[in-house]
Amino acid sequence: MKLHEYQAKGLLREYGIPVPDGSVASTPAEARSIARKIGGTVMVKAQVLVGGRGKAGGVKMATSPEEAEARARDILGMKIKGIEVTKVLVARAVDIASEFYVSLTVDRSARSVQCIASASGGMEIEEVAAREPEKIVRIALDPEAGLVKARHFDALARAFSGKGVAEQAWDIVENMYRLFSDKDCSLVEINPCALDRAGNLVAADAKIIFDDNALYKHPELESFRSTEEYSADEMDARSNGLSYVGLDGSIGCIVNGAGLSMATMDLIKFAGGSPANFLDVGGSSSPDKVFHALRIILKNPRVTAVLINIFGGITRCDDIARGILMAREKLTLRVPLVIRLIGTNEKEGRELLAAAGIDAYDDLSEAVKGVVDRAKETA
Q: Which residues form the catalytic set?
A: 101, 189
As a whole number of angstroms, the distance between CA 300 and CA 296 comes to: 7
52 interacts with ligand GDP by CB under 6 A: yes
As a whole number of angstroms, the distance between CA 3 and CA 11 comes to: 10
List the 59-62 sheet strands across, edge first: 22-25, 88-92, 42-46, 59-62
In the complex, least distance from residue 168 CB atom to Mn ion, rounded to whole angstroms: 19
Q: Which stretch binds Mn ion (CB under 5 A): 204-212, 290-298, 302-310, 341-349?
A: 204-212
Residues composing the chain? 379
Q: Which stretch binds ligand GDP (CB under 6 A): 7-15, 89-97, 103-111, 324-332?
A: 89-97
Q: What 8-state DSSP symbol labels residue 281?
A: -
189 interacts with Mn ion by CB under 5 A: no
47 interacts with Mn ion by CB under 5 A: no
State which of residues 30, 189, 205, 319 lies at the interface with Mn ion (CB under 5 A). 205
252 interacts with ligand GDP by CB under 6 A: no
CA angle 218, 231, 241 (to 5 degrees): 50
Point out which residues pair with 301 in neighbouring strands: none
Residues 173-232 that bind ligand GDP (CB under 6 A): 191-192, 204-205
State which of residues 99, 189, 280, 319 lies at the interface with ligand GDP (CB under 6 A). 99
Residue ranges of alpha helices (H) inside 84-227 are 125-131, 149-159, 165-182
Nearer to ligand GDP, 43 or 297 (CB): 43
191 interacts with Mn ion by CB under 5 A: yes
As a whole number of angstroms, the distance between CA 203 and CA 189 comes to: 9
Q: Which stretch binds ligand GDP (CB under 6 A): 49-57, 139-147, 272-280, 309-317?
A: 49-57
43 interacts with ligand GDP by CB under 6 A: yes
99 interacts with Mn ion by CB under 5 A: no
Q: Which stretch binds ligand GDP (CB under 6 A): 29-37, 48-56, 144-152, 309-317?
A: 48-56
Considering CB under 6 A, how many residues would be counted as binding ligand GDP? 16
Q: What angle do the packed helices 258-270 and 364-378 form, to 10 degrees? A: 60
Nearer to ligand GDP, 195 or 251 (CB): 195
In the complex, least distance from residue 37 CB atom to ligand GDP, rounded to whole angstroms: 16
Q: Do the Cβ atoms of 240 and 261 come closer than 8 Å?
A: no
294-306 as b/e, with b when 16 or more CB fall inside 10 Å?
bebbbebeebbbb
Q: Do the Cβ atoms of 85 and 46 come closer than 8 Å?
A: yes
Binding site for ligand GDP (CB under 6 A): 43, 45, 51-54, 59, 93-94, 96, 99, 122, 191-192, 204-205
